[in-house]
C-alpha cells in the first residue's frame, strides 16, 4: 500500500479548459488577476523522505525547493538586483520657462570657424553705429592691448578715427606714441578740421560749397559751413546742380542766408539752381498752408534765377496762402551777386554725403548715379552711418550692380567702412579706404 506524504491542498487548482478560438467581441471588463499556481503551494518541510510512485496513478506535483536550502549539486542562482527607485521629478511649466527661452538666438547655427578678431571688430562698429561711443571706445582700448602688432592694426585705426571724431586730441596723441612703439610705424596725423566741415576751395580763390541730395537737419553740415562763410563775408560759390530737396528746417536756413547775402551785397554765386527751383515750385501748392520756409526759399531763388512775372505770380500765391506780405521784386538785385551761369568747375564729379547718416532712405540716389559717367559716392565728410541707412544703401545699389555698373564708395572712415562690410555693402560697391 502506498501512502501519500502530501496533505490535501485547501484549494485545488482548477483544470484549465482547452484553448478555442474566440469570436470577435468587445473587450470584456477588467477582472482581478488570479494568483499564480505557485502562490497556492504551501512550503514543504525541509527533510522529505523518498517518494514511491505506483504505475497507473497520477504523479503528485513536486514541491519547489526551499529558497533557503537548494538541492544538492545545484548552484544557487543569485537573485537579480532590484532596479533603483526612480526619484519623483516634478516638471512644471514655470521651471521650463525659467531655464529656456523662445528667443530666435536659440535657432542660430554656431559657426565654429568664425574669426574671433572679426567678431570683435563687428561688436565695436555695431556699438558705434547705434551711438554708443563710450562703450565702443572702452572695447577698442581693450582690444588694442589684446591684439598686439600688425594683427590688431584694425583696432588701432578704429580707435584713432573715434578719437578724431570725438575731438579728444590728447588721447589721440597719446595713442599715437603707443602705436609707434608697438607697431613700429608712424601713426596717422591729427586733422585740425574734419573733412565734413572743411570748405572746398574754388579755382578763383573763393570757397565752394556743394549742396547735394536731400538735406535734412541731421545732415546739413554744408549749410552750416555756408553760414560761417557768409558771416566772414567771403566769396562763395554754391553748387546746387545735384541738390534734390530739403526739409523745412534747411529751407529756412537757406532762405535766410540768401536774403542776408543779398542785403550785405556779398559775392555769392548759385550754380545749377534752376532744376532745384523747378522741383520746389512744383511741390508747393497755392492754398495749402504748409512748408512756409520752402515758399520763402522759392521766392529768393526766383529773385536770382527767375523772371519778374514768375516771381510776382508766386508772391501772390504766398500772400493768399499764408496771409503774409511777400517780398518785393528787385531787378538785377545787386552787382555783387552773379545771376548768370558760371562755368562748372568742380574738383570732381563725385556725389558728396555729409554728417551723421541716420535713417536715410537714399531715394534720390538711383537718379544721381544714373546721371554720372563713373558713379562715385564720397564719404569723406560722413562721421557715422547707422544700420538703417546702411541697409537702405545696399537696397539702392543692388539693382545698379545687377545692371552691370560699378559704384565706388570713396574715403569712408574706418568705423563706417567696417560697418559697410558687416552689412555686405562691399559686395554691391567698391569701397576705397584712405591709406593709414
Query: What distance in Å separates the CA atoms of residue 312 and residue 281, rounded to the nearest whole number?
Result: 13
Question: What kind of architecture, by CATH, is found in domain 351-432?
Answer: 2-Layer Sandwich (3.30)
Threshold 0.75, pTM exceeds: no
H or E element, residue 183? helix 169-183
User: What string of DSSP letters covers 373-432?
Assistant: SS-EEEEEEEEEE-HHHHHHHHHHHHHHHHTT---EEE---HHHHHHHHHTTGGGTSEEE
CATH class of 195-322: alpha beta
Q: Is the pLDDT of residue 296 over 60?
A: yes
Residues listed for the chain:
436
Element (DSSP H or E) covering residue 248: helix 248-263
Instruction: Point out the least confidently predicted range of 49-53, 157-161, 203-207.
Output: 203-207
The contacts of residue 286 (CB under 8 Å, 6+ apart) are 317, 320, 321
Residue 371 vs residue 113, higher pLDDT: 371
- Best CA proximity match to 227, nearest among 238, 213, 214: 238
Looking at per-residue pLDDT, the higher value among 402 and 149 belongs to 402
Q: How far is CA 399 from CA 214, 376, 426, 428, in A?
A: 21, 16, 14, 9
Confidence of residue 23 (pLDDT cuts 50, 70, 90): low
C-alpha span between 349 and 376 (Å, rounded): 7
- Mean pLDDT calculated for residue range 100-123: 55
Taking residues 278-297, what's their average pLDDT?
A: 92
Q: Given pLDDT bands bounded at 50, 70 and 90, which one contains residue 222?
A: confident
Q: Which of 5-19, 93-107, 205-219 has the lowest mean pLDDT?
A: 93-107
pLDDT given for residue 204 in this prediction: 37
Long-range contacts of 222-228 (CB under 8 A, 24+ apart): 222/352, 222/354, 223/250, 223/253, 223/254, 223/257, 224/197, 225/197, 225/198, 225/199, 226/254, 226/257, 227/253, 227/257
pLDDT at 10: 53
What digits encode the pLDDT tens for the residues 144-192?
A: 888 876 678 899 999 999 999 999 999 999 999 888 888 888 888 888 7
Q: Given pLDDT bands bounded at 50, 70 and 90, which one contains residue 82? A: low
Residue 87: all three cell numbers together: 526619484
DSSP state, 40? Answer: G
User: Over the stretch 237-277, which tens digit does the pLDDT of each residue have?
Assistant: 888 888 888 999 999 999 999 988 888 888 888 888 888 89
Amino acid at each position: 500500500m502506498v501512502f501519500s506524504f502530501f496533505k490535501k491542498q485547501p484549494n485545488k487548482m482548477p483544470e484549465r479548459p482547452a484553448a478555442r478560438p474566440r469570436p470577435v467581441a468587445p473587450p470584456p471588463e477588467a477582472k482581478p488577476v488570479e494568483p499564480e499556481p505557485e502562490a497556492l503551494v504551501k512550503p514543504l518541510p525541509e527533510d522529505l523522505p523518498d517518494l514511491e510512485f505506483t504505475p497507473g496513478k497520477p504523479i503528485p506535483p513536486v514541491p519547489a525547493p526551499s529558497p533557503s536550502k537548494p538541492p544538492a549539486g545545484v548552484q544557487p542562482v543569485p537573485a537579480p538586483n532590484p532596479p533603483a527607485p526612480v526619484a519623483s521629478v516634478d516638471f512644471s511649466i514655470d521651471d521650463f520657462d525659467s531655464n529656456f527661452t523662445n528667443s530666435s538666438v536659440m535657432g542660430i547655427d554656431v559657426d565654429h570657424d568664425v574669426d574671433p578678431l572679426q567678431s570683435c571688430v563687428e561688436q565695436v562698429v555695431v556699438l558705434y553705429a547705434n551711438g554708443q561711443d563710450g562703450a565702443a571706445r572702452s572695447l577698442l582700448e581693450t582690444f588694442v592691448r589684446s591684439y598686439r602688432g600688425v594683427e590688431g592694426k584694425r583696432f588701432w585705426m578704429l580707435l584713432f578715427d573715434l578719437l578724431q571724431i570725438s575731438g579728444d586730441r590728447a588721447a589721440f596723441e597719446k595713442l599715437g606714441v603707443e602705436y609707434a612703439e608697438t607697431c613700429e610705424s608712424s601713426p596717422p596725423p591729427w586733422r585740425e578740421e574734419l573733412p565734413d566741415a572743411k570748405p572746398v576751395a574754388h579755382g578763383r580763390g573763393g570757397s565752394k560749397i556743394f549742396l547735394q541730395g536731400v538735406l535734412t537737419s541731421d545732415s546739413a553740415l554744408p549749410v552750416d559751413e555756408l553760414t560761417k562763410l557768409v558771416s566772414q563775408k567771403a566769396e562763395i560759390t554754391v553748387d546746387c546742380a545735384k541738390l534734390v530737396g530739403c526739409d523745412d528746417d534747411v529751407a529756412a536756413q537757406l532762405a535766410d542766408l540768401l536774403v542776408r547775402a543779398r542785403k550785405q551785397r556779398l559775392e555769392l554765386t548759385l550754380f545749377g539752381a534752376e532744376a532745384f527751383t523747378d522741383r520746389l515750385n512744383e511741390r508747393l501748392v497755392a492754398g495749402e498752408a504748409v512748408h512756409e520756409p520752402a515758399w520763402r526759399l522759392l521766392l529768393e531763388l526766383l529773385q536770382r534765377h527767375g523772371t519778374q512775372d514768375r516771381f510776382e505770380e508766386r508772391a501772390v500765391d504766398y500772400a493768399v496762402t499764408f496771409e503774409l506780405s511777400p517780398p518785393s521784386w528787385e531787378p538785377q538785385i545787386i552787382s555783387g551777386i552773379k545771376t548768370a551761369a558760371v562755368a562748372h568747375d568742380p574738383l570732381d564729379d563725385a556725389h558728396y554725403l555729409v554728417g551723421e547718416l541716420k535713417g536715410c532712405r537714399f531715394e534720390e540716389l538711383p537718379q544721381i548715379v544714373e546721371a554720372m559717367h563713373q558713379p562715385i559716392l564720397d564719404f569723406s565728410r560722413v562721421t557715422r552711418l547707422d544700420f538703417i541707412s546702411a541697409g537702405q544703401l545696399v537696397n539702392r545699389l543692388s539693382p545698379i550692380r545687377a545692371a552691370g555698373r560699378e559704384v565706388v564708395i570713396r574715403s569712408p572712415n574706418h568705423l563706417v567702412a567696417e560697418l559697410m562690410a558687416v552689412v555686405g555693402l562691399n559686395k554691391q560697391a567698391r569701397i576705397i579706404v584712405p591709406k593709414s
